[in-house]
Amino acid sequence: MAKKVVATLKNKEAKGFAKVIKAVKSPKTGAYTFREEIVPVDLVKDALK
């Protein structure tokens, strides 16, 4: 699955995007889950806040 996402990010039109992976803690169980987003490079810092 990751190869497919990486392959689509290599297009000439998609050079301005980055894949952001965040660890989010569940309030019920306390376990961490990972959330993936594809955001423009300019908004990476905002996506991590």
- pLDDT value at position 34? 93
Measure Cα distances from 14 to 2, 6, 33 in Å.
16, 11, 27
- pLDDT value at position 48? 82
Measure Cα distances from 9 to 13, 24, 32, 43 in Å.
9, 24, 27, 16
Neighbours of 41 (CB within 10 A): 10
- pLDDT value at position 25? 94
Query: Cα torsion for 44, 18, 24, 33, to the nearest 10°?
Result: 180
Tell me the whole-structure pTM to 2 decimals: 0.56
**pLDDT, tens digit (0-9, with 9 covering 90-100), for 1-49:** 455 566 665 666 656 888 999 999 999 999 999 999 999 888 888 888 8
